[in-house]
């Protein structure tokens, strides 16, 4: 049986409920997590106050090099990443081609040399010739 995300209005109403049922919020968060909809899972885990699930989201975000999700989770958890964690995030992001995420993570780690190197890489990407989405590359 395929599980579908909640309709927007229902999701909004649940998240805006001033007295939510934490177990229900956790179950819904688990469903979103299983669907790999981590932003939505994060919202429900936050509403449930489920620290363990939030740590799970943080771990997945680190493994995916997702800087924005990492920043959201650490803000909710009221914790800081160590320099080593920022560097790990940067390296994963760079390996996955998420150069802007890697650049910012290196900056957060205080690794100015690496940030400078990636600044050049990202500038090259931004200033390179535009790639048309409707025409194949030469030789393809």
* Tens-place pLDDT, residues 49-82: 999 999 999 999 999 999 999 999 999 999 999 9
pLDDT for 127: 78
CA–CA distance, 130 with 39 (Å, rounded to integer): 31
CA–CA distance, 27 with 41 (Å, rounded to integer): 10
pLDDT for 126: 73
Domain layout of the chain by residue ranges: 1-79, 81-128
pLDDT for 108: 96
Residues 99-140 have pLDDT tens digits of 999 999 999 999 999 888 888 877 776 776 555 444 455 554
pLDDT for 133: 42
CB 44 within 8 A of CB 29: yes
CA–CA distance, 137 with 129 (Å, rounded to integer): 12
Token pair of 48 as six digits: 């449930």
CA–CA distance, 127 with 140 (Å, rounded to integer): 23
pLDDT for 140: 47
pLDDT for 134: 47
End-to-end CA distance of the chain: 40
Between helix 67-77 and helix 51-64 the angle, nearest 10°, is 160
Across 81-99, average pLDDT: 96
- What predicted TM-score, i.e. pTM, was given to this entire model? 0.82
């Amino acid at each position: 049986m395929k599980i579908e995300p909640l309709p927007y209005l229902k999701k909004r109403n649940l998240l805006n409920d001033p007295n939510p049922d934490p177990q229900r919020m956790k179950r819904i968060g688990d469903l979103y997590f299983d669907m790999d909809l981590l932003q939505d899972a994060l919202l429900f885990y936050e509403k449930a106050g489920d620290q363990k699930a939030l740590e799970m989201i943080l771990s997945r975000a680190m493994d995916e090099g997702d800087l924005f999700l990492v920043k959201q989770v650490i803000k909710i958890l009221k914790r800081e990443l160590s320099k080593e964690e920022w560097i790990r995030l940067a390296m994963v992001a760079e390996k996955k081609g998420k150069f802007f995420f890697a650049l910012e993570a290196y900056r957060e780690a205080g690794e100015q040399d690496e940030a400078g190197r990636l600044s050049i890489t990202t500038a090259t990407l931004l200033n390179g010739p535009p790639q048309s989405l409707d025409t194949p590359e030469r030789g393809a």
